């Protein structure tokens, strides 16, 4: 039945494509080209609309064609981030060719994003909450991996590599992500653990990072239950570019003498990259190489890695382009798990080196792709991927995981309607004795979305059907849908509302893992059930634009619901004869969970008296509860009462039923100034105390109870940075954790003390 349902779904999808392709009838073919006013380069994907009815897009060379009747027409050219242009023309016979020049908008926060739709739209017109990170911010803060970049975003925490949006995830021991990470339109979750290798993402060539908050499984699959992170790497412009960046970080004097043991070495990190981008004829090339070494403030925790990244694109003609992206990385790391205690042993591993995790790893990904614009203006996109990971364990190259995936997507705009859809398939093989040996799995999906535009009102909705199999034991499938509404109240006020569903199957690591780290074991759970959920929000965004000032305020109310939510729990899962009498980690299902909250963000940019200033920040409040642990919260009045009480300092009864490893309050802000060749910036983060953790943590990990008793009010962390631009490059000095706060976002593992970084960057 499930296979038959998928066939029916694909048939309906095919019929819609045929319908879209037959709508436009040939009349007189009018053609032209659209270019950028400054760079004189072709603009791809410009919307060309005649009389607010017939429409198309510009192709890879900025060319467009449109069949029109013999009459007078108003042809409008619009491109996100550029000023609209309208041309009046009278069609009599033959082709009328015109060169259209569009100028880019200046001083605006209404930025371009892909969002949850797989196609571009202004940020203010999205139906879900979104944030954007730009490459300049990443370089200014010397952020070396994507996890550190996400941690700058309001409402997001990254705990031991696990990203959580608005309390959607807690501590997952590095397995099973609810946030889908997409790099250049390809998911990069590993086949065995469904986790993200943050250091594998080429941060040196980022064009833009977009964060979608809320369920986005319709377009991106099951792992997008809590949101999507879209990472776009850059292509060359008309001029060749070569960039170099070097940095060195020291933690001198920032660890109290009482916590330094004889023989400890000074912690440091050093690294850099070189990047080259250029166009040669119809070909675009990108090469970069990256190296990094660190000796952490946590004894025994270290990393050495090298990474290479390559992009190639060939523009065959006006309608066709194809290329390949490839990334490879080797790293040798040792990971710190738990402290010895919260005072003299805070920076030393529990039970010595037995709780360190040494790893040697190789990661490789190759992504061929093809984009084709058909004559009727439809876009066809094919993405293929090979993702390989390998680890050395006891001298053997194991575990080994291989993922093969293919994705086809289709986009067509007809008048005020826009249709997108596609199919996706994955096959994976991995062998890991810690996961029960050899496993073979596959998945397949079909999805579509329709969008309708009115004058001030826009609605979008879609659905996805996905099937999962691993070995011969599991077979899970469930349809999911989403709907979004956006209303433009006026030119500067945008109201949005959305509802989306999600569905996630357990990763092989969550289901089968059996692994020991010293005396601490991770136990399997072959009865683990898939989790499903939904996310809803309503929000408003207000633009604040004046002559030299550009800003915005954004507010949202949100709620998420989960059934069979998968959470790692620390408890007695093994036999009494096992180490620590069987105490360890195991993935468990939370029967029903609900998370509600609100978020407020603001930003501003201005340029006064040769001083550039920008600011952005946000506050997030979330109330995450386990409805199985406290069934009284199923009553709306009780839930609302507790929700309000959580805004202040609630009593001990309030904490009954709270989900583990979540921060109720998050506050983050960032500011930057530029004057002539000088730059100055600062960042502040506040993390409230985690209200609930596993009971056994406080018993078996020394110092947990004492640490939590002395950190009732949460933690503030501040960073400062200074820079000076010379003709020979930019030199910057950064001080992170300026006040040397002693804090641990994930209890039992202290975060970095005060450190200083010297950075040098040069553009050839």
Query: Are 88 and 137 in the same domain?
Result: no
Confidence grade of residue 594 (pLDDT, cut at 50, 70, 90):
very high
- Which domain-ending residue is among 102, 130, 154? 102
How far from 536 is each of 383, 443, 561, 634, 635, CA to CA, in Å?
30, 27, 9, 17, 19
Burial class (CB in 10 A: 0-12, 13-18, 19+), 728: exposed
Confidence grade of residue 475 (pLDDT, cut at 50, 70, 90):
low
What is the 3 state secondary structure string of 444-459?
EEEEEEEEEECCCEEE
Query: Among residues 677, 671, 661, 668, which one has the least CA distance to residue 723?
Result: 677
CB atoms within 10 A of CB 508: 26
The reported pLDDT for the residue numbered 699 is 82
Query: Are 142 and 188 in the same domain?
Result: yes
**pLDDT for 362 beyond 90:** yes
C-alpha 21/C-alpha 28 separation (Å) is 18
Contact call for residues 197 and 338 (beta carbons, < 8 A): no
Q: Which residues have a Cβ under 8 Å from the Cβ of 133 and sit 6 or more positions away?
A: 149, 152, 153, 206, 208, 209, 211
Query: Among residues 366, 372, 371, which one has the least CA distance to residue 387?
Result: 366
State phi, psi for 558 to the nearest 5 degrees: -140, 160
Please state which of the ranges 415-424, 452-461, 472-481, 672-681 shows the lowest mean pLDDT. Answer: 472-481
Query: Among residues 458, 456, 476, which one has the least CA distance to residue 468?
Result: 476
The reported pLDDT for the residue numbered 505 is 86
- Asked if the structure places residue 387 within a domain, the reply is yes
C-alpha 144/C-alpha 200 separation (Å) is 10
Mean pLDDT of 488-516: 87
The reported pLDDT for the residue numbered 80 is 63
C-alpha 412/C-alpha 378 separation (Å) is 5
**CATH code of the domain in which 79 resides:** 2.60.40.1120
**pLDDT for 591 beyond 50:** yes
Where is pLDDT greater, at 203 or 261? 203
What is the 3 state secondary structure string of 404-456?
EEEEEEEEEEECCEEEEEEEEEEEEEEEEHHHCEEEEEEEEEEEEEEEEECCC
- pLDDT tens sequence across 168-227: 888 877 667 889 999 999 999 888 888 899 999 999 999 999 999 987 778 888 778 889
The reported pLDDT for the residue numbered 18 is 45
Mean pLDDT of 268-279: 96
CB atoms within 10 A of CB 675: 12
Query: Are 137 and 261 in the same domain?
Result: yes
Q: What is the dihedral of CA 742, 744, 749, 750, to 10 degrees?
A: -20
**How far is C-alpha 111 from the geometric centre of its chain's CA atoms?**
17
DSSP 712-732: TT-EEEEEEEEEEEETTEEEE
Query: Are 739 and 702 in the same domain?
Result: yes
Query: Are 539 and 501 in the same domain?
Result: yes
What ranges in 114-258 are assigned the alpha helix state H? Answer: 135-140, 146-150, 217-220
Query: Are 116 and 87 in the same domain?
Result: no
- Asked if the structure places residue 60 within a domain, the reply is yes
Query: Are 78 and 133 in the same domain?
Result: no
Query: Are 155 and 73 in the same domain?
Result: no
C-alpha 324/C-alpha 58 separation (Å) is 23
DSSP at 399: E
pTM of the model: 0.86
> Strand 227-233 relative to strand 179-183: parallel, antiparallel, unpaired?
parallel
User: DSSP 3-state helix, strand, coil percentages of the chain (rounded to 5)?
Assistant: 15, 55, 30
Task: Quote the tokens at residue 651.
Answer: 């009593």
Measure the CA angle with vertex 112, ends 110 and 115; round to 5°: 115
How far from 183 is each of 180, 197, 220, 229, CA to CA, in Å?
10, 12, 12, 8
- Which domain-ending residue is among 102, 120, 145? 102
Report the mean per-residue pLDDT for the chain.
86
> Does a cis peptide bond (omega within 30 degrees of 0) precede residue 399?
yes
3-state SS, residue 580: helix
Query: Are 117 and 97 in the same domain?
Result: no
**254: enclosing H helix or E strand:** none
Contact call for residues 393 and 363 (beta carbons, < 8 A): no
The reported pLDDT for the residue numbered 101 is 76
Burial class (CB in 10 A: 0-12, 13-18, 19+), 48: buried
- Asked if the structure places residue 107 within a domain, the reply is no
Query: Among residues 621, 743, 602, which one has the least CA distance to residue 670?
Result: 602
**pLDDT for 357 beyond 70:** yes
CB atoms within 10 A of CB 88: 8
Count of domains in the chain?
2
- pLDDT tens sequence across 675-717: 999 999 999 999 999 999 888 788 888 999 999 999 999 999 9
- pLDDT tens sequence across 607-651: 888 899 999 999 999 999 999 888 899 999 999 999 999 998 777
Query: Are 98 and 141 in the same domain?
Result: no
Query: Are 137 and 76 in the same domain?
Result: no
C-alpha 735/C-alpha 249 separation (Å) is 9
Position of tokens 């833009």?
Answer: 208
C-alpha 423/C-alpha 464 separation (Å) is 9
- Which domain-ending residue is among 54, 83, 102? 102
**pLDDT for 258 beyond 60:** no
- Asked if the structure places residue 509 within a domain, the reply is yes
Mean pLDDT of 479-499: 93
- pLDDT tens sequence across 5-61: 545 544 444 445 444 444 444 467 788 888 877 777 778 778 888 876 667 878 777
Domain of residue 50, residue span:
2-102
C-alpha 194/C-alpha 192 separation (Å) is 6
Query: Among residues 264, 358, 155, 336, which one has the least CA distance to residue 751?
Result: 336
**CATH code of the domain in which 522 resides:** 2.40.170.20
The reported pLDDT for the residue numbered 15 is 47
Confidence grade of residue 98 (pLDDT, cut at 50, 70, 90):
low
Query: Are 326 and 356 in the same domain?
Result: yes
């Amino acid at each position: 039945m499930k296979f038959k349902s998928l066939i029916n779904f694909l048939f309906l999808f095919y019929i819609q494509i045929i319908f879209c392709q037959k709508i436009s009838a040939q009349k007189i073919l009018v053609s032209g080209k659209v270019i950028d006013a400054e760079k004189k380069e072709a603009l791809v994907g410009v919307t060309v609309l005649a009389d607010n009815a017939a429409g198309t897009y510009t192709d890879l060379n900025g060319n467009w064609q449109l069949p029109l009747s013999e009459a007078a027409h108003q042809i409008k050219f619009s491109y996100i981030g550029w000023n609209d242009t309208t041309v009046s023309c009278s069609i009599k016979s033959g082709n009328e060719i015109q060169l259209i020049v569009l100028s880019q908008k200046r001083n605006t926060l209404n930025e371009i994003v892909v969002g949850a739709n797989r196609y571009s739209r202004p940020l203010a017109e999205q139906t879900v909450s979104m944030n954007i990170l730009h490459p300049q911010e990443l370089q200014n803060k010397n952020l070396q991996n994507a996890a550190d970049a996400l941690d700058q975003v309001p409402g997001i925490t990254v705990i031991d590599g696990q990203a959580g949006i608005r309390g959607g995830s807690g501590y997952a021991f590095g397995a099973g992500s609810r946030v889908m990470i997409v790099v250049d339109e390809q998911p990069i979750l590993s086949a065995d653990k469904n986790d993200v290798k943050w250091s594998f993402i080429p941060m040196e060539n980022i064009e833009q990072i977009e964060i979608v908050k809320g369920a986005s499984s319709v377009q991106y699959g099951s792992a997008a239950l809590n949101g999507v992170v879209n990472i776009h790497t850059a292509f060359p412009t008309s001029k060749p570019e070569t960039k170099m960046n070097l940095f060195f970080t020291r933690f001198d004097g920032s660890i109290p003498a009482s916590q330094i043991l004889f023989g400890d070495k000074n912690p440091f990190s050093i690294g850099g990259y070189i990047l080259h981008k250029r166009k040669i004829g119809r070909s675009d090339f990108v090469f970069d190489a990256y190296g990094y070494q660190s000796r952490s403030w946590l004894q025994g925790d270290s990393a050495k890695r090298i990474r290479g990244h390559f992009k190639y694109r060939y523009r065959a003609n006006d309608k066709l382009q194809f290329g390949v992206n490839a990334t490879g990385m080797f790293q040798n790391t040792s990971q710190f798990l738990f402290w010895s205690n919260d005072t003299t042993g805070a920076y030393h591993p529990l039970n010595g080196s037995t709780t360190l995790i040494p790893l040697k790893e190789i990661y490789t990904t190759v992504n061929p792709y093809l984009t084709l614009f058909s004559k009727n203006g439809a876009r066809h996109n094919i993405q293929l991927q090979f993702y390989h990971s390998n680890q050395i364990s006891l001298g053997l190259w194991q575990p080994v995981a291989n993922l093969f995936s293919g994705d086809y997507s289709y986009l067509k705009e007809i008048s005020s309607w826009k249709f997108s859809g596609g199919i996706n398939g994955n096959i994976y093989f991995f062998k890991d004795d810690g996961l029960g040996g050899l496993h073979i799995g596959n998945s397949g999906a079909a999805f579509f979305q329709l969008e309708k535009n009115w004058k001030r009102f826009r609605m979008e909705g879609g659905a996805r059907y996905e099937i999962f199999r691993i070995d011969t034991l599991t077979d899970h499938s469930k349809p999911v849908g989403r709907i979004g509404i956006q209303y433009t109240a006026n030119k500067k006020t945008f109201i949005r509302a959305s509802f989306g569903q999600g569905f996630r199957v357990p990763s092989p690591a969550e289901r089968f893992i059996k692994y020991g780290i010293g005396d601490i074991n991770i136990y399997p759970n072959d009865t683990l059930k898939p989790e499903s959920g939904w996310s809803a929000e309503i929000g408003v965004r207000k633009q604040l634009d004046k002559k030299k000032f550009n800003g915005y305020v954004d507010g949202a109310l949100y709620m998420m619901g989960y059934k069979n939510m998968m959470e790692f729990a620390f408890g007695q899962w093994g036999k009494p004869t096992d180490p620590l009498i069987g105490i360890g980690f195991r993935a468990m299902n939370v029967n029903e969970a609900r998370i509600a909250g609100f978020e407020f963000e603001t930003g501003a940019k201005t340029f006064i008296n040769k001083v550039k200033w920008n600011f952005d920040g946000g506050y997030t409040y979330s109330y995450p509860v386990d409805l199985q642990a406290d069934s009284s919260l199923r009553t709306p009045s009780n839930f609302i009462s507790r929700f309000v009480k959580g805004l202040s300092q609630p009593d001990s009864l309030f904490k009954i039923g709270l989900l583990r490893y979540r921060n109720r309050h998050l506050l983050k802000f960032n500011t930057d100034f530029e004057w002539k060749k000088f730059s100055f910036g600062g960042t502040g983060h506040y993390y409230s105390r985690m209200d609930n953790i596993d009971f056994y943590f406080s018993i078996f990990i020394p110092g947990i109870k004492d640490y939590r008793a002395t950190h009732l009010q949460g933690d503030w962390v501040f960073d400062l940075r200074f820079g000076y631009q010379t003709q020979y490059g930019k030199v910057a000095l950064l001080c992170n954790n300026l006040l040397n706060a002693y804090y641990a976002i994930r209890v039992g593992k202290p975060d970095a003390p005060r450190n200083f970084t010297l950075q040098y960057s040069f553009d050839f």
